[in-house]
């Protein structure tokens, strides 16, 4: 079962707030960390703006709080609901920009840093001189020398025309105290994953363990069956270690939907706690063995 350390998340947030103003991206239920937990925690630390990925999540966030909410991505199809719930739409292209301006609707503007997902690629000063433009944001998808140049230019124009602005991604962290739009950064090292020993089997030399008989016992072994499987986010061919009673043990065989197999010894007993990720199994070890990114771990581990 995944455990979330909300105290660690708050500590991470406070660390960023020491140098930067922060807005939070809450897409996919706050990266799997639950909006109803993260929003109050953020408001407690004076965060006043949240970015949402879908209309449903934006409405859910509005029920939770009365702070500034901005809908990421295409927004025009939801104008009636956005007005009703006081959610700020995003202009992702010049057509959106013109539509919101013509209809006297306050909006946020996304600029494309080169990722070719959403946002206006080429911008000029005239875009910033708009009474309905409330905020400008850009997401940096990779480390490039010209990122800082873009940040300086956008910050200058937004300050000149009194517009709010944020820069997205951990790549912007640490640059000139610029306002940040962050997601992953506050969730670092806040997840642990634990299971329990459900059964212990004596497996004889030559017998196999798990689906397809992929693991063949090289000698007589003790095999513990745990309640963590690929339903919990481990890949079927995950190979790594676990930690039980102050000792490390190896995973063997193919991961099942709800179970995994551990080669153990006589020190392990039924119902013992099995650590897959935590104080003794570092995040990098699990991610590397599971061929998984941090973003994927936030959403897949459970």
Tens of pLDDT, residues 73-129: 999 999 999 999 999 999 999 999 999 999 999 999 999 987 788 999 989 999 999
Range of the domain at 142: 2-187
Residues 181, 209, single domain; the answer is no
How confident is the model over 278-283, as a mean pLDDT?
95
Q: Any residues with CB less than 8 A from the CB of 22 and at least 6 apart, and which?
A: 13, 16, 47, 179, 180, 181, 182
Looking at residue 170, its pLDDT comes to 61
Contact 76, 103 (CB under 8 A): no
Domain boundary among 161, 187, 213: 187
- The token duo for 191 is 């997840």
What is the CATH classification number for the domain harbouring 20? 3.20.20.10
Question: Which percentage of the chain shows pLDDT scores above 90?
Answer: 82
Contact 257, 228 (CB under 8 A): no
How many DSSP H helices and E strands does the chain contain? 10, 17
Q: Is the pLDDT of residue 71 over 90?
A: yes
Q: What are the start-end ranges of the E strands in the chain? A: 2-4, 22-25, 49-52, 68-71, 90-91, 107-111, 133-139, 164-168, 180-182, 191-203, 208-209, 215-216, 221-226, 241-244, 247-252, 260-264, 273-277
Residues 272, 127, single domain; the answer is no
Residues 157, 195, single domain; the answer is no
Nearest-angstrom CA–CA distance, 203 and 131: 73
Residues 213, 148, single domain; the answer is no
* DSSP secondary structure letters along 145-190: TTHHHHHHHHHHHHHHTT-EEEEESGGGTTSTT--EEESGGGGTT-
Q: Is the pLDDT of residue 246 over 80?
A: yes
Domain boundary among 157, 187, 217: 187
Looking at residue 175, its pLDDT comes to 64
Looking at residue 19, its pLDDT comes to 87
Average pLDDT over all residues of the chain: 94
Residues 183, 196, single domain; the answer is no
- The most distant pair of C-alpha atoms in the chain lies apart, rounded to whole Å, by 77
Residues 199, 147, single domain; the answer is no
- The count of structural domains within the chain is 2
Which pTM was predicted?
0.87
Domain boundary among 166, 187, 208: 187
């Amino acid at each position: 079962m995944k455990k979330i350390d909300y105290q660690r998340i708050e500590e991470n947030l406070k660390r960023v707030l020491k140098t930067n103003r922060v807005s939070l991206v809450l897409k996919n239920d706050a990266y799997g960390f639950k909006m109803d937990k993260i929003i109050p925690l953020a408001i407690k630390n004076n965060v006043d703006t949240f970015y949402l990925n879908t209309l449903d999540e934006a409405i859910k966030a509005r029920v939770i709080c009365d702070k500034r909410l901005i809908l990421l991505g295409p927004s025009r199809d939801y104008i009636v609901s956005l007005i009703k719930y006081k959610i700020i739409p995003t202009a992702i292209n010049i057509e959106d920009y013109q539509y919101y301006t013509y209809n006297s609707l306050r909006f946020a503007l996304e600029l494309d840093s080169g990722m070719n997902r959403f946002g206006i690629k080429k911008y000029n000063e005239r875009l910033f001189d708009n009474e309905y433009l409330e905020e400008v944001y850009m997401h940096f998808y990779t480390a490039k020398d010209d990122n800082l140049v873009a940040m300086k230019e956008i910050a200058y124009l937004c300050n000149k025309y009194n517009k709010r602005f944020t820069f997205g991604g951990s790549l912007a962290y640490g640059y000139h105290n610029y306002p940040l739009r962050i997601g992953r950064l506050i969730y670092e090292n806040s997840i642990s994953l634990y299971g329990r020993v459900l059964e212990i089997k004596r497996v004889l030399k030559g017998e196999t363990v798990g689906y397809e008989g992929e693991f063949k016992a090289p000698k007589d072994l003790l095999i513990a069956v745990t309640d963590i499987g690929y339903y919990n986010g481990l890949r079927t061919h995950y190979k790594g270690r676990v930690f039980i009673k102050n000792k490390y043990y190896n995973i063997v065989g193919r991961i099942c939907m709800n179970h995994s197999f551990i080669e153990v010894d006589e020190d392990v007993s039924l119902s013992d706690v099995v650590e897959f990720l935590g104080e003794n199994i570092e995040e990098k070890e699990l991610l590397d063995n599971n061929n998984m990114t941090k973003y994927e771990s936030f959403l897949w581990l459970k």
